[in-house]
């Protein structure tokens, strides 16, 4: 029997009802008990998740984005010259990251499902933090390409596992704006990366090249936070250490009645592959491919895009901050509007349209003579 069929109609209605209701809920040990569901208790539970889970995941994804995109900042500080990169070698280093990223993501996703995202995510974070630090030791093209390969492996399933993890805490109609808050960390990370690079590149007294200090700082912070996340993150809403037993029971009931995930579901490979039988799955894959091209272009090359405006190394990194912040704000506006209206397509299309306009403006003008218009285009891209 499907897990949702095991609840009576009045219990399912209580999930969205605004009135207090006595409901019989299943518990983690397989038994049942009666709890009082009230709007106040529901809001208090969500507020605890918002305060305890979202900030930690957002910080984890911020470090993930920093470690993925900091190569663009390092390039502005002479990475190519230091390592003796020639021709298309820099672009090859960027591209090689995505080969293991694609190949290993399904396997790490399966591992995350079996062992729990609360364990696998911090371990992945510790791994890519270590590889970020190791970038400081590379001396040539081959060394950097090797590090980028393993960095791609360690980061591959991070984003999908975080999404799955959030579905074990939030209902469907609560998820989009929370995902937006989490995903905004990527734009904030890009902005913070610019600020951090701006500060680090002021170091002129050390024995290392400026860009190497950037990888040391970001990698060490990532490793430190991964240890905290491994200790802190709960297995699921019904196992959260910061909830009372009654709150755990309510959380378990919430996920049983309205969630994108199944509570305590065991992994089944055959069921997982069944998703490819759905036509919408292929449509969403197409959307993701179209989305990834501008997303990765902006994330990896924004310092170079702004660098074409003729600014020096320090100013170039500083001027990446504002476009990324505006992108994060726009993301939140679209996501909150989407949840409020319960519509998805118009807001997805609006985001695509803004980026499309930004790229069109940038390629249609003379960047060096129309600096303000070109800088405006970078805001549209993000």
3-state SS record for 291-351: HHHHHHHHHHHHHHHHHCCCCCHHHHHHCCHHHHHHHHHHHHHHHHHHHHHCCCHHHHHHH
Compute CA distances 195 → 34, 57, 192, 202, whole Å: 52, 21, 5, 11
In terms of C-beta density within 10 A (0-12 exposed, 13-18 middle, 19 or more buried), how is residue 160 classed?
middle
Average of per-residue pLDDT across 203-229: 85
Rounded to the nearest integer, the mean pLDDT of the chain is 80
**Looking at residue 23, what is its pLDDT?**
58
In a domain, 252, yes or no: no
| Total residues belonging to the chain | 382
**Please, are residues 370 and 310 in contact by the beta-carbon 8 Å criterion?**
no
Please spell the DSSP secondary structure of 245-285, one letter per residue.
Answer: HHHHHHHHHHHHHS-SS-TTPPP-HHHHHGGGGSHHHHHHH
Do 36 and 144 fall within a single domain?
A: no
How many helices (H) and strands (E) would you count in the chain? 18, 2
Do 89 and 194 fall within a single domain?
A: yes
Average of per-residue pLDDT across 59-70: 81
**Domain carrying residue 351:** 54-233+279-381
Percent of the chain's residues with pLDDT above 90: 18
Do 9 and 73 fall within a single domain?
A: no
- State yes or no: pLDDT of 215 exceeds 60: yes
In a domain, 70, yes or no: yes
State the CATH number of the domain containing residue 334: 1.20.1250.20
In a domain, 271, yes or no: no
Residues 232, 226: Cα–Cα separation, whole Å: 10
**Please, are residues 85 and 206 in contact by the beta-carbon 8 Å criterion?**
no
- State yes or no: pLDDT of 16 exceeds 50: no
| Confidence category of residue 18, pLDDT binned at 50, 70, 90 | low
Do 89 and 184 fall within a single domain?
A: yes
Do 319 and 200 fall within a single domain?
A: yes
In a domain, 253, yes or no: no
Residues 74, 213: Cα–Cα separation, whole Å: 10
What sign has the CA pseudo-torsion 295, 346, 328, 320? positive
In a domain, 188, yes or no: yes
Tokens of residue 272, six digits: 């997982």
Q: For the segment 92-102, what is each residue's pLDDT rounded down to a tens digit?
A: 888 888 899 88
Do 33 and 61 fall within a single domain?
A: no
**Looking at residue 34, what is its pLDDT?**
66
Domains: count for the chain: 2
- The segment with the largest mean pLDDT, out of 62-66, 260-264, 378-382, is 378-382
Q: For the segment 229-242, what is each residue's pLDDT rounded down to a tens digit?
A: 999 999 887 788 88
| Confidence category of residue 33, pLDDT binned at 50, 70, 90 | low
* Local structure of 208: helix, strand or coil: coil
Closest residue by Cα to residue 181 from 199, 163, 195: 163
**Looking at residue 126, what is its pLDDT?**
96
In a domain, 261, yes or no: no
Please spell the DSSP secondary structure of 53-85, one letter per residue.
Answer: THHHHHHHHHHHHHHHHHHHHHHHTTHHHHHT-
Q: For the segment 77-115, what is each residue's pLDDT rounded down to a tens digit?
A: 788 888 888 888 888 888 888 899 889 998 898 898 888
**Please, are residues 303 and 317 in contact by the beta-carbon 8 Å criterion?**
yes
* More confident site: 214 or 28: 214
Do 9 and 157 fall within a single domain?
A: no
Average of per-residue pLDDT across 32-39: 66
- State yes or no: pLDDT of 13 exceeds 50: no
Do 227 and 157 fall within a single domain?
A: yes
Do 103 and 34 fall within a single domain?
A: no
Burial 231-257 (b: 16+ CB within 10 A, else e): eebbbbbbbbeebeeebbbbbbbbbbb
Maximum Cα–Cα distance across the chain = 72
Q: For the segment 341-375, what is each residue's pLDDT rounded down to a tens digit?
A: 888 889 988 988 998 999 999 989 988 888 889 99
In a domain, 263, yes or no: no
In a domain, 247, yes or no: no
- The segment with the largest mean pLDDT, out of 253-257, 263-267, 377-381, is 377-381
Do 27 and 63 fall within a single domain?
A: no
| Confidence category of residue 9, pLDDT binned at 50, 70, 90 | very low
Query: Cβ atoms within 10 A of the Cβ of 206, count?
Result: 11
* pTM, entire model: 0.73
**Looking at residue 361, what is its pLDDT?**
93
**Please, are residues 158 and 226 in contact by the beta-carbon 8 Å criterion?**
no
Do 103 and 191 fall within a single domain?
A: yes
- State yes or no: pLDDT of 64 exceeds 60: yes
Do 104 and 168 fall within a single domain?
A: yes
């Amino acid at each position: 029997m499907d897990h949702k069929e095991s609840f009576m109609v009045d219990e399912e209605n209580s999930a969205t009802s605004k009135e207090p209701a006595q409901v019989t809920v299943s518990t983690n040990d397989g038994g049942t008990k009666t709890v009082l569901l009230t709007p106040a208790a529901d809001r208090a539970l969500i507020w605890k998740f918002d305060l305890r889970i979202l900030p930690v995941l957002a910080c984890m994804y911020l470090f993930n984005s920093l470690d993925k995109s900091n190569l663009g900042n390092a390039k502005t500080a002479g990475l190519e010259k230091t390592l003796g990169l020639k021709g298309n070698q820099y672009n090859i280093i960027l591209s090689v990251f995505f080969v293991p990223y694609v190949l290993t993501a399904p396997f790490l996703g399966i591992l995350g499902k079996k062992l729990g995202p609360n364990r696998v995510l911090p371990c992945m974070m510790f791994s890519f933090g270590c590889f970020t630090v190791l970038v400081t030791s590379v001396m040539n093209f081959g060394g950097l390409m090797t590090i980028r390969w393993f960095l791609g492996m360690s980061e591959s399933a991070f984003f999908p596992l975080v999404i799955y993890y959030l579905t074990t805490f939030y209902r469907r109609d609560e998820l989009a704006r929370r995902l937006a808050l989490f995903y905004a960390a990527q734009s904030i990370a890009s902005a913070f990366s610019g600020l951090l690079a701006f500060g680090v590149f002021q170091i002129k007294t050390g024995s290392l090249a400026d860009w190497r200090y950037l990888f040391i700082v970001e990698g060490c912070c990532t490793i430190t936070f991964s240890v905290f996340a491994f200790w802190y993150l709960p297995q699921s809403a019904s196992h959260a250490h910061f909830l009372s037993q009654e709150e755990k029971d309510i959380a378990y009931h919430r996920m049983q009645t309205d969630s994108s995930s199944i509570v305590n579901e065991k992994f089944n490979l055959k069921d997982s592959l069944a998703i490819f039988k759905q036509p919408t799955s292929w449509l969403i894959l197409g959307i993701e491919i179209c989305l990834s091209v501008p997303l990765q272009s902006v994330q990896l090359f924004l310092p170079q895009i702004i660098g074409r405006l003729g600014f020096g190394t320090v100013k170039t990194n500083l001027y990446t901050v504002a476009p990324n912040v505006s992108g994060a704000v726009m993301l939140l506006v679209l996501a909150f509007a989407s949840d409020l209206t319960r519509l998805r397509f118009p807001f997805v299309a609006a985001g695509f349209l803004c980026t499309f306009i930004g790229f069109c403006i940038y390629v249609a003008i003379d960047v060096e003579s129309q600096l303000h218009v070109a800088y405006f285009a970078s805001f549209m891209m993000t």
